[in-house]
Structure 1
Amino acid sequence: MDENQNRYLFECSWEVCNKVGGIYTVISSKIREAMKVFGENYYLLGPDFKTNLDFEETDEECWNKIREGAAIKDLPCRFGRWRIPGEPKVILVNFSVKYNKDQLLYRMWEDYGVDSIAGGWDYTEPVMFSYACGEVIETIYNLLVRPQGGTAVAQFHEWMTGAGLLFLKKAIPEIGTVFTTHATILGRTLAGSGMDIYASMDHISPMREANAHNITAKYSMEAAAAREAGCLTTVSDITALEAKNFLGRYPEMITPNGLDVEQIPNLVQDRRPALRSRMRLLKAACRFLKKDLPSDTRIIAVSGRYEFHNKGIDVFLDALGRLEKEMKSDQSILVYLFVLGGHTDLIPALQSDYAKGETGTPPDLHAPLTL
């Protein structure tokens, strides 16, 4: 028998099939490596927003027992595959009607001392989601893992999934639990407000600062998950110091983020995809600016979560200001900020131009260029 046949890994994140920030890339880029070890015993759980574009619902036999078990527990889920290399199993969990919010938050307080009193909807929603994920994992464990004498580990990313870890800790303590923090909620908040947390970390009172920045509930959930997890991990040594000072526990493992280099196209061998993408970027800019751009326009881009200071957007803009002063009159630079900011559509004027097909002169695909 394959030694991995009875080993299961469950991975829970707000960003499974839901692109918000870097955790989406962290998880999606390691899929093939995870599947080499766990194969079809690898399950990812994410929130069901009905708009998960890279998720495809499937009617595979492997879902029959799980679908029935989830239905018995009144856990609305969609079962399918994440359409990325490796195509892992994914369960999207609907949590909107399952729980009485007040009862659930009281349970978290009673069992683990999680202080949810000041938490708004941006706190309550992830708590309900992750708690439901815990119940789904429990269902699969009782249906597939326990009857076969198997073992299971459940990994939870960030405070948004802490309630699921706490549920499993009490309901099925034999499941190994891993809590991974990519950046503590307190560290992220303080850095975003302009504080140099690494220069003053030893002098920061976590609870006082959490209260001052209105993140008491999120901080309390994160601290409880870090304390109760079977294993705490962070993605860097510097984040490990955050965890030690803000959460009271130094991680057992540092798990640096990596890249699946086999999925990065070799643009030296074939320049056509890059040229096509470049042309689309220039054409979009022509439409928006209502002017022609030279074919040798340099394109610069930055991307990331919309955190002005933490992601260096302020540094990027300052550098562009300096660059503009040093540019020659015949130089042209196009800058894109690929930053999600809660927008749902194109601005009306730009949308109208796309519909009418109005644009400046399309750039020459074969002209000299600098990427």
Structure 2
Amino acid sequence: MGDRVATVDQLLDRILDHIEPLKDFPQPLLEALDLPSAEEVIAPIDLPSFDNSAMDGYAVRLADVVGATEESPVHLPVVGEIGAGQAGILAMSPGTAVKIMTGAPMPTGADSVVPYEWTDRGVANVRIVQAPTEGQHVRRAGEDVSVGDVLIEHGSVLGPRHLGLLASVGRATVRSRPRPRVVILSTGSELRDPGTPLGHDSIYDGNSWLLAAAARRAGAIAYRVGIVPDEPRAFLDALGDQLVRADVVVTSGGVSQGDYDVVKEALAPTGSVWFGSVAMQPGKPQGFGLVGEERVPIFTLPGNPVSSYVSFEAFVLPAIRKLMGRTPYSRPTTRARLTHPISSPEGRRQFVRGAYEVDRGGPFVSPVGGHGSHLIGDLAGSNALIVVPEDVTSVTAGEQVQVKLLDEDF
């Protein structure tokens, strides 16, 4: 991209060209939650795997009880009992009944279950006052899942119901890509950790918590590293220490044109990280490249919190999703009606904090706060980003606009 101003799409294309999905491997089921399956899973067994009772009651032959009523009950000897996981009785003779619990296997010779409610719950003999229909209250083998059925398609994102199904057919693992390990570094000698005293010229570090939470929300494992002062050597030492556990590194601050922009000063001489301007607001100064022997992707985001967060949404989030094999990479847009007019600088894609809501008149979005990239209070009060294209300089109230919904999974 050279020294010219890049568009958002150009930088994102460059980033995704340098990102390859992580290698998949069999993972324990809970570790694969919310990750795409890297295999097609075929049912190895039937579900249910055997005929079993759907009720607590008595296993019977329908022919023996078909005429049972309150006025003309049927009496049968009870020849045993079968509990779930305690199948001591495998077969029964005509003219008898077997007490059976929910989930217990049906004995050979029985074709229906009479629930307790239709009996006197007898122990040696049972009085039956209502007949089931044939096969009633019996779960047949394979009626839910049959051997050879496709349970999970390749690429399906594994939710709780998928994992429950896999466990039910005996799978303890499923192939998926691991969660990317994202290391977050905040730079700035003025930064202090929350919970510590502030000096007259210091501020609390909110960015690293913001970005770590965003990475975790995206499905990654986030490692928030302590604050790095504005010293190139200290930054490079901290970066080198962290590369061993990083699939991605994200920094905030130190990428503009100032005298203390430590990230740019430390990494620009390597030649492996591009620094430049992107035609967007907020988030104009950006950097991206590959560092270390393992060529780990590094995103150098601006230091103002709104700029940092918008940059994460635009560039880091798609990279994390590609590493996991999740599509689409970028958060999709929807349409909403704008409640108040907004202006936008020509030639830049603007991301305006917004409050999105749906009522009987349809979806609406209202701009939240001012344009300042330091206004994290307004950011916290938003649930959407209004996206104004580069060739649009103003939008009037009532017009339809593109909106990214920040709190919705995709």
TM-score of the superposition, structure 2-length normalised?
0.22
Is the strand fraction higher in 1 or 2? 2
Q: Report the structure number with the largest CA radius of gyration.
A: 2
